[in-house]
Amino acid sequence: MQGGAAAVAVRALKDGDLLFAATDKEQGMWLEVQGAKVDAAYAHAAGYELCIDNPDDLSTATAALLGRVALPKELWSRVRQTMGDEAVDALKAILTLPELQAGSTVKLSDLQQKYSSEQLWAAVAADAAPWTDGAEAMERSDLPADLVAAVGQAGELVSLLQGKRGVCLVQLWTVKDGDNAGAVYNPMALRVLRQALQDPAVTFQLSYAETPDGPLGLTAVVAAAVEPYASWASYLAQMGVQSALVPDTPFDKVLIGRMLGYPDVAIAQHVQSKGQQVDEVLEGEVQQALTKLSDVAPALPWRSDAPHAMAAGHMTAVSLLQQIKTGFGGGGGKAKVKGKGKGKGKRAK
């Protein structure tokens, strides 16, 4: 499925549209529309909320920065319930992006519509392989490379919601992010994560990794709330697995790859790319470990009643700032955070 690129007026934009614009930065900017009116559109970009004006001439559009995008309240509720208020304060200090100067604006040029949430859900429904079979399968997608990279995290979550994979990792933060937005703020990722956290058939756990020098990473382990995927998610959280970190041993590489549903060939190629090997003995040990965690064999699709794309539920700057002030409190959840991992992997190169 080919991602199109078309210049459109702001008034023609709709919730879920994915735009790309040139800016004064060399790499440009992806903008995910959250809602539109006659004279303005609201969008998320790199963890911040913007208001795009100038409805008729998008070659000279201006985006006013309104504030930081809020992470789902369900995520913070889970941290508070399972790790305590001190953990909430510590993680907020890590995950909260820097405040912006009041009245800041960004000049946008050559603003084009590249894709949409509807297109992503349809693409995954037609062929989920780019989002279930690993990096090489994603590279073989018909979509342009820059678009594949932009929506890769969201596509993985959509494939889980559609029942086509059982476990998905969402990197919320790593030490290498610094003050920059992490993978959770990639286009459409936060939208689909919020939908997953509200889905009663989906469970999630927080996987935290640290070293003696401090925090290393925080990942949401999102999984089908059925066996063996729920037990696998608990194990991954216990070991402190991180989406952006590569585990040291070939055993962990193969075990995690199997839990994430990647093909055996893709797992073996990944292990070999790190100068290690996969043999029958190792494969047998991994299978024993999987069976010990759950005696239920994995079966996909794990659901037949896959949901449709959910609207953004656009959050205004006022409600966003209110959530920041109140600590992102909110509803509850069933899954528990299973301990604190001690950095089972090393940072990916």
Tell me, rounded to whole angstroms, the distance of Cα 303 from its chain centroid.
Answer: 21
DSSP states along 190-239: HHHHHHHHT-TTEEEEEEEEEETTEEEEEEEEEEESSTTHHHHHHHHHHT
**Which value, to the nearest 10 degrees, does the dihedral of the CA atoms of residues 247, 251, 256, 262 take?**
120
Half-sphere exposure of 319 (CA within 13 A, CB side): 7
User: Side chain identity at 208, as an amino acid letter?
Assistant: Y
**DSSP one-letter code for 11:** G
- pTM of the predicted model, to two decimals? 0.84
Q: What is the pLDDT along the chain (349 residues), one digit of tens a residue?
A: 344 555 566 777 889 999 999 887 767 899 999 988 777 889 999 899 999 876 566 667 888 989 888 888 888 887 787 677 777 777 777 777 888 776 788 888 888 889 999 999 999 999 999 999 987 777 777 888 889 889 999 999 999 999 999 999 999 888 887 767 778 889 999 999 999 999 999 999 889 888 888 778 889 999 999 999 999 999 999 999 999 888 889 999 999 999 999 999 999 999 999 999 999 999 999 999 999 999 999 999 999 988 888 766 444 333 333 333 333 322 222 223 333 444 443 333 3
Placement of tokens 């965690």 in the chain: 293
DSSP states along 30-77: EEEEEEE-SS-EEEEETTEEEEE--SS-GGG-EEEEEEEPPPPHHHHH
